[in-house]
Chain A
Amino acid sequence: MRSPREKRPAGQKQYYRRKKVCKFCVERIDSINYKDVKLLSQFVPERAKIMPRRISGVCSPHQRLLSDAIKKARNIALLPFATE
């Protein structure tokens, strides 16, 4: 995440970007289990790809656990590899 800069060059549109926070840190979800389809499916958009960190805002330790869990879930047909 880029840090909010104090000064911007004149003419550049200024907007406030909300700082993204990791869902798992905030809600204190410790276990990211491959059986928890409801939780995992929040991080697999339409195309069934794993949502990148820059969009979801998940921190890297949790993203690692999350992607492992999603891959396990795919193996046992709980989540799709790709949408047909």
Chain B
Amino acid sequence: MRNYEIMFIVNPNAVEDEIDKINAQLEAVITSGGGQIQKIEKMGKRRLAYEVDRLREGYYVLFATAANGDIVKECERRLRVMDAVIKYITVRVDDDVRRLEKIRKYRQKRAARRGSGAAASASGQSIEEAMQ
């Protein structure tokens, strides 16, 4: 199981019901495949950075899920087929989360070490940090 974020853009002219229907469908795909849904976020309408299918606006929806490759594949297939969806992207996020965790731990360790060794002056420390 890996953590993925699936973000897609729905045609802004679609009705709210349609978006809910798409969400429900994806939800069903994920849960029936044994995945978990961590978050469904409707990010709302926003301007697209460039034209897609002659549209300048889009309705963004974000899914955060723990799933495996097959589930993601199926989700992408469905999104491709749906007419209202104009664009989608899947991003793997667990690598990033792990990296952040590592940085946090490292900082904690450093802070602990610094707390015990009071030899270094405060100004010296801040320069050291800036150099990093």
Contact = CB atoms under 8 A, between A and B. Distances in A.
B49 A74 contact: yes
B91 A30 contact: no
Given A21-B130, A26-B130, A76-B9, A34 B49 contact: no
B71 interface: no
Contacts, number: 38
A10 B132 CA distance: 35
A38 B99 CA distance: 22
Nearest to B55: A77
| A interface SS class | loop
A77 B48 CA distance: 5
A78 B89 CA distance: 12
B7 interface: yes
Interface in B1-58: 7, 9, 48-50, 52, 58
Contacts of A79: 49
Interface residues of B, number: 19
A26 to B, nearest CB: 6
A80 B48 CA distance: 8
Interface string B79-114: 000000001110100001001100110000000000
Contacts of B62: 35
Interface in A29-84: 30-31, 33-35, 72, 74-81, 84
A9 to B, nearest CB: 29
Contact of A25 (B49, B58, B132): B132
Interface of B: 7, 9, 48-50, 52, 58, 62, 87-89, 91, 96, 99-100, 103-104, 130, 132
26 contacts: A25-B130, A26-B130, A30-B100, A30-B103, A30-B104, A31-B96, A31-B100, A33-B96, A35-B7, A35-B62, A72-B89, A72-B91, A75-B87, A75-B89, A76-B7, A76-B9, A76-B88, A76-B89, A77-B48, A77-B50, A77-B58, A78-B49, A79-B49, A80-B50, A81-B49, A84-B50
